């Protein structure tokens, strides 16, 4: 099969298209012919070596976590998915190739109303945004919740999920995204590097943070005593400190499989209730350009299309 190969840690220009043996589905796994694969920040963190300490790669490697396509083989023990099924899901690397293999538990049927390739935009961001709002901060009806990076791919799902719980949601964004944030139907929009605007926010019950670092840490001062902080890029030091002083419950999450929730959220996308914009689609052969485009801040998902 043809695949986008990372021979050594480096910038996007390091990626080359090569030919590798077809991977095979082991017990509990499926193999699929890739229709689409989407790029996530974790892919360029792995590509550059920035993530190598906690997720070392065996090089040369094929990156990619999100994939959609048609099942071509199932491993022993797989009952729910059959050859020929149109599926979308998460793999632990290897999505940027003609054939991808991953645990069947990470896959669900792609909604009938969605283009199969475009469905690859969804699995990781749908699950992460929902798990941030529903598990990390456990957003509740009537609560004031701030979602940071709200127009980002994970952020917009966290907004949707927190609103679905009946929370009053504030979208925290950079100034250039204010208009896009208003379209999320939120209670308010706040520019995160505008100290006066942040100070004017009401006291918050919870923060769903997709940005982290100093920006995420500064916001913790807005949480009420006993409030909740949830993050997807760790817990900032300031949140750790506030956790003790103000009895803040601070949690960082790693996305886990949840087929039922993934299917429901993907249906919400197919129905038009939740928008995950696609910034651009590239053929797999132009994967290096696609990765460069995504890494520079694409404002939406970047897709690779099967050959």
Ligand X SMILES: NC(=O)c1ccc[n+]([C@@H]2O[C@H](COP(=O)([O-])OP(=O)(O)OC[C@H]3O[C@@H](n4cnc5c(N)ncnc54)[C@H](OP(=O)(O)O)[C@@H]3O)[C@@H](O)[C@H]2O)c1
Contact set with ligand X (CB under 6 A): 40-42, 124-125, 128, 149, 151-155, 173-174, 192, 210-211, 215, 232-233, 253-255, 297
CA pair distance 128, 125, nearest whole angstrom: 5
* Smallest gap from residue 237 Cβ to ligand X (A): 16
* Smallest gap from residue 296 Cβ to ligand X (A): 9
From 272, 222, 307, select the one nearest 111 (Cα to Cα).
Answer: 272
Between 175 and 271, CB nearer to ligand X:
175
Structure tokens belonging to residue 13: 């220009």
Residue nearest to ligand X (CB): 152
Give the DSSP letter of residue 23.
Answer: P
* Smallest gap from residue 160 Cβ to ligand X (A): 13
Between 31 and 190, CB nearer to ligand X:
190
Between 81 and 184, CB nearer to ligand X:
184
CA pair distance 18, 6, nearest whole angstrom: 10
Phi, psi of 35 (to 5 degrees): -95, -40
Structure tokens belonging to residue 191: 């520019």
* Smallest gap from residue 162 Cβ to ligand X (A): 15
* Smallest gap from residue 60 Cβ to ligand X (A): 23
Between 116 and 198, CB nearer to ligand X:
198
Between 125 and 169, CB nearer to ligand X:
125
CA pair distance 162, 78, nearest whole angstrom: 34
From 145, 163, 151, select the one nearest 208 (Cα to Cα).
Answer: 145
CA pair distance 155, 111, nearest whole angstrom: 22
């Amino acid at each position: 099969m043809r695949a986008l190969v990372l021979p050594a840690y480096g910038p996007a220009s390091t990626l080359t298209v090569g030919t590798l043996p077809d991977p095979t589905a082991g017990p509990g796994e499926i193999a699929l012919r890739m229709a689409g694969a989407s790029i996530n920040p974790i892919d360029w963190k792995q590509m550059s070596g920035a993530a190598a300490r906690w997720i070392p790669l065996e090089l040369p490697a094929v990156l990619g976590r999100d994939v959609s396509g048609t099942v071509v083989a199932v491993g022993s023990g797989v009952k729910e998915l059959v050859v020929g099924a149109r599926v979308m899901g998460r793999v632990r690397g290897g999505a940027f190739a003609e054939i991808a293999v991953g645990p069947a538990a990470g896959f669900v049927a792609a909604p009938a109303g969605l283009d199969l390739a475009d469905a690859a935009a969804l699995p990781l961001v749908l699950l992460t945004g929902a798990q941030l709002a529903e598990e990390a901060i456990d957003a509740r009806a009537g609560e004031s919740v701030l979602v940071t990076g709200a127009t980002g791919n994970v952020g917009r799902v966290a907004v949707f999920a927190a609103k679905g719980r009946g929370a009053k949601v504030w979208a925290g964004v950079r100034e250039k995204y204010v208009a896009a944030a208003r379209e999320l139907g939120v209670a308010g929009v706040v520019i995160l590097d505008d100290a006066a605007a942040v100070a004017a926010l009401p006291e918050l019950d919870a923060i769903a943070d997709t940005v982290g670092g100093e920006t995420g840490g500064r916001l913790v001062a807005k949480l009420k005593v006993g409030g909740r902080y949830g993050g997807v890029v760790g817990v900032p030091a300031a949140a750790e400190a506030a956790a003790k002083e103000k009895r803040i419950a601070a949690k960082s999450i790693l996305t886990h499989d949840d087929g039922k929730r993934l299917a429901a959220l993907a249906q919400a996308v197919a129905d038009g209730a939740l928008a995950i914009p696609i910034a651009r689609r590239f053929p797999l052969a132009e994967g290096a350009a696609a990765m460069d485009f995504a890494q520079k801040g694409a404002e939406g998902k970047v897709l690779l299309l099967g050959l």
